Amino acid sequence: MTPLRAGIVFNPSKISREQLEAAWDAEADGATAEWFETTVEDPGQGPARAALDAGCDVVIAAGGDGTVRAVAEALGGSDAAFGIVPQGTGNLLARNLGVPLGNPRTALRRILTSEPKKLDMGWIELDGGEPQAFVVMVGFGLDAQMLAATDDEAKAKAGWLAYVAAMGQALTASEMVSVKVTVDDREPREVQAHTVLIGNCGTLQGGLTLFPDAELDDGVLDVLIVSAEGAVEWMDTLRAAVWDNGIMRLFDKQKTATSTEAARHGQAVRIEVELPQPHSFEIDGEEVGDVQRFTARIDPGALRVY
């Protein structure tokens, strides 16, 4: 069904309004759109709320993962449907949803010709601060250090391949720490790890699957705790990620996540993590500074997404 009214929240550093208008006019078939521009100070929450206040039936995020996350945060629990025109480096939620990449027209066509489905959303509190939404994953360790080490200019030129150049630096910076983990209502446990990731989606760029059991609407968060050290453990961890939890699941969809001694999988509705000192932290592919304590919870079916 063609939406009666769409609000398009766009990041002008990723795509111009003129480009989007041309794509919209080519696909809209009479549907109307209103335009809401993000700024450095407001990456999307305010424009998305303005779209809701304007009575938009569908709110579309046109930009990178930061824009998508910000718009999702504003839409959580509302009646408006959520669409994505992916224009970033990672486009992580779009990849997990199967949204076409690269061409705004095909992404808009999907929104205008399909029905939305329920999507869980996560909420994260950092060091006791205000809750922030996430739709892909959060965590500390290798991924956050890699993001912090990635050169912005290189990322703009090389896309997600720029992250590969930062991996060596991140591996060097990774250090094993004693992590206090509380899952749901269970007793806290101390584990040794250098990376803890909490996800709502399973797949990253290049088809790498970190959370093979993750479903966008299963009402739980997926957890990965990594403590790999040395060449043997890293090779075992990579084998499990690429082969057992990646390629082999193409042939056996019922297969559950393969854990190793150095990479353990789990699921939770709520998880609290406390570190001995602050570490680099990421939310949906964006580095947000150093964090020592964080709590994540799932909000089942909070979004209706195309």
Residues 237-253 have pLDDT tens digits of: 555 554 455 444 444 55
Domain match, 99 and 244 both = no
Tokens standing for 147?
A: 């993001």
**Do 81 and 139 belong to one domain?**
no
* Average pLDDT of the residues in 38-51: 98
Domain count, the chain: 2
pTM of the predicted structure, to 2 decimals: 0.84
Name the strand (E) or helix (H) holding 238.
helix 230-239
Out of 65, 92, 115, a domain closes at 115
Whether residues 177 and 255 fall in one domain: yes
The answer on 271 and 136 residing in a single domain is yes
Same domain flag for 90 and 187: no
97 with 140, same domain: the answer is no
d(CA 64, CA 66): 5
**Predicted confidence (pLDDT) per residue in 203-238, tens digit:** 776 566 778 889 999 999 999 888 766 555 555 555
Give the CATH number, domain containing residue 172: 2.60.200.40
Determine the Cα–Cα distance for residues 301 and 16; give it in Å rounded to an integer: 32
Single residue among 115, 150, 171 that ends a domain in this structure:
115
- In the three-class reduction of DSSP (H, G, I as helix; E, B as strand; rest coil), residue 97 is classed as helix
Q: What is the CATH number of the domain that holds 46?
A: 3.40.50.10330
> What is the per-residue burial (b if ≥16 Cβ within 10 Å, else e) of 164-201?
eebeeebeebbeebebebbbeeeeeeeeebbbbbbbbb
Domain that holds residue 65: 5-115
User: Which amino acid belongs to residue 55?
Assistant: G
- pLDDT tens digit sequence for 268-303: 999 999 999 999 899 998 889 999 999 999 999 999
